[in-house]
Chain A
Amino acid sequence: MSAPLYGLVLAGGRSTRMGRDKAALPVAGRTQLEHTMALLAPRVARCFVSVRRDQDADPLRAGFEQIADSRDNLGPVAGILAAQERFPGHAWLVVACDLPRLDAPTLDFLLRARAPARLATAFRSSHDGLPEPLCALYEPASAAAIAAYVARGHSCPRKFLSGADVELLDGPEPRALDNANTPEEYAAAMSSDGQALPGASRRISVQYYAVLREQAGCREEALTTVARTPLELYAELGKRHPFSLDTAVVRVAINGEFSDWAAPLGNGDAVVFIPPVAGG
């Protein structure tokens, strides 16, 4: 039996390096806090925003159920502790509000892989191989261990998870958990149209020529896709269009140049599938 799952969006940081409240930064037409709450809420029984004690009147945060830190200057672990103290016996899906690339497939992957018998389920960082503490699932049994860790004078949740009994996952999209602490990191996570660049999906335009144009029924289309390569994209499009050509005879171009079926697709890429040519 798994313990009931609540959600906690960490929004108690001071955003010192960003120079602006990270929770209020726009992503996909709303604030990062609203965006993150909207991702979590459908996946948990109740969802809270974690705040510092002096933030409870902030209008953005006041729009949600809050849990205020019971300790100051402890960083994100204070929010996790406060939640566990207030609702003992609950598991917590804890997510920071500064993950603009976080998306539903990544959260669902985490929830499907949940290991209730362990203290926590977390992704392995694509940067340093250590557990990612701020998009993780903490079981009720972790509460006592975290409290003891803090009592020993520690406050780093990553180090806590590194030494704890944790289910470690390699996520579907390594960059989904890249956080944005500075204006540069935030800008890099946004595509040119101001929408979030979700970790596991990208905006791609596709142009069709000749027999593929006739089979697709259009010259071009734009789509948001989780396809990572032209090969995956062609397979995905082939479910909607009656493509008769096998990839063995089709070539691919990305952004106006011949490319490879296994090349990584990036946000905003323009892809062209090239049927067997017949010039001259």
Chain B
Amino acid sequence: MSVPFQLLRDPIDPGALRAALADPACGGFATFEGWVRDHNEGRRVRHLEYEAYDELAVREAQRIIAEAAARFGIAHAACAHRLGELAVGELAVWVGVSAAHRHEAFLACRYIIDEIKHRLPIWKKEHYVDGDSGWVNCERCAAPGAQPHAHPTTAPV
């Protein structure tokens, strides 16, 4: 794997990422793409804004990919995450895994995207059609007066 994780301000190129994972020893390739959706929790979303603590995000993502490799015995894995403003329909995150067989490729791909979402210092601000905006997970649940509730820290595998 040349560059297992990238934070990108320009559009992600899935074809190039996929090509870098090709390996004659691999019979399975699993990928996940996260797209910008036009609604969230009952509100119509116009566009998203991603922000990252780059240094730590890159380091943590590389740890996640190394964990997946060690845990599932895959051949290669890569991930790219967009930053900045994204319009509805754009590709926000891409994960790809190649392995000898499909089973471990699926498991590792699921593990990587779940851990990326929970552990990377990346934040998402939703801009709504009605002109309002808010940081996901920050504005409501964590504000004073919010009801206590659990945040998942480890993803099911």
Contact = CB atoms under 8 A, between A and B. Distances in A.
Interface of A: 207, 209-211, 213, 244-246, 249, 251, 253, 256-258, 272, 274-280
Nearest to B125: A210
Dominant SS among interface residues on chain A: loop
Contacts of A249: 141-142, 151
A279 B142 contact: no
A274 B122 contact: no
Interface in B122-141: 122-125, 135-139, 141
Given A211-B123, A278-B123, 20 more contacts: A209-B51, A209-B53, A210-B123, A211-B135, A211-B138, A244-B142, A244-B144, A246-B144, A253-B121, A256-B55, A256-B56, A272-B53, A272-B121, A276-B142, A277-B117, A278-B137, A279-B117, A279-B124, A280-B81, A280-B117
B61 to A, nearest CB: 9
B113 interface: yes
6 contacts: A276-B137, A276-B142, A277-B117, A278-B135, A279-B120, A280-B92
B71 interface: no
B56 A278 contact: no
Dominant SS among interface residues on chain B: mixed
Given A244-B144, A245-B142, A249-B142, A209 B56 contact: no
B142 A278 contact: no
Contacts of A274: 53, 121
Contacts of A245: 138, 142-143
Interface residues of B, number: 34
Contact of B138 (A253, A275, A280): A275
B142 A210 contact: no
A205 B52 CA distance: 18
B39 interface: no
Contacts of A207: 53
B43 to A, nearest CB: 15
B119 interface: yes
B65 interface: no
Interface string B25-49: 0000000001000000000000000
A257 B53 CA distance: 11
B116 interface: yes
A275 B116 contact: no
B29 to A, nearest CB: 20
Nearest to A272: B53
Contacts of A277: 117-123, 137
B99 interface: no
Contacts of A210: 51, 123, 125, 135, 138
B93 A280 contact: yes
A242 B150 CA distance: 24
Nearest to B145: A244
A253 B137 contact: no
